[in-house]
Amino acid sequence: MSKTTSPTPTAVIFDLGKVLLDFDYGIVARRLAAHSGRDAEQIRGLLDQSPLLHRFESGRMTNDEFFREVSALTGYTGVFEEFADIFGDIFAPIAPMIDLHAQLRARGVPTFIFSNTNDLAIRHIRANFPFFANFTGYIYSHEARAMKPDARIYEVIEQRTQRTGAALLYVDDRKENVDAGAARGWRVVHHETPEQTIAAVRAAGLL
């Protein structure tokens, strides 16, 4: 029997947090604690993967509503503009992955951001990380009003990219998210290290 090979994907979908940018809610917790009546660990518990953050990142709260609720829960006494700067400033670049994206773009491969995120984070990233301007498109949970691994937001990807199945190569650090992509026939990479992901992209025929 002849060995069958998968076709080369024609677009790459990148998760953002922990794939292209590292993040740490401990940073915002410590900075907010300096202006509130709670300690940093209590504040981190209110924010990091919490129901409050889920509401914000699924588009069910405005920036101002989120600010007011966090202020009420923590005793934060600063103004919104200060809060926005503090809340957004939690990211650090993952250089090998940003370089991988640059290589794909140089080869003419369409690339997309696919992220459970919020407007405050995206504002900060746009202003501080120049590579972020160089994607073909962006799909955010707070705009789609659905969060990975909800099937609805994967449908948005297919609509925006005009691709389905193995034409899409999807990179994400959360297994439940890549599993949802694999269930739709996408090629997926469960990101654990840059080296492993770069090797998988090369094996897919894109480098």
| Global pTM value | 0.94
Query: With pLDDT > 90 as the criterion, what percentage of the chain qualifies?
Result: 91
CATH number for region 25-88:
1.10.150
Question: Tokens 């939690």 label which residue?
Answer: 90
pLDDT tens figures, 51-67: 999 999 999 999 999 99
- The DSSP symbol for 131 reads G
CATH H superfamily, domain 11-22+91-203: HAD superfamily/HAD-like (3.40.50.1000)
Furthest-apart CA atoms within the chain: distance in Å = 70
Main-chain phi, psi angles of 92, to 5 degrees: -140, 140
* Domain chopping of the chain, boundaries: 11-22+91-203, 25-88
Q: What SS3 state is found at 207?
A: coil
- CA end-to-end distance (rounded Å), the chain: 28
Quote the pLDDT of residue 1. Answer: 38
Residue 19: name the closest of 134, 146, 170 by CA.
170
pLDDT tens figures, 21-31: 999 999 999 99
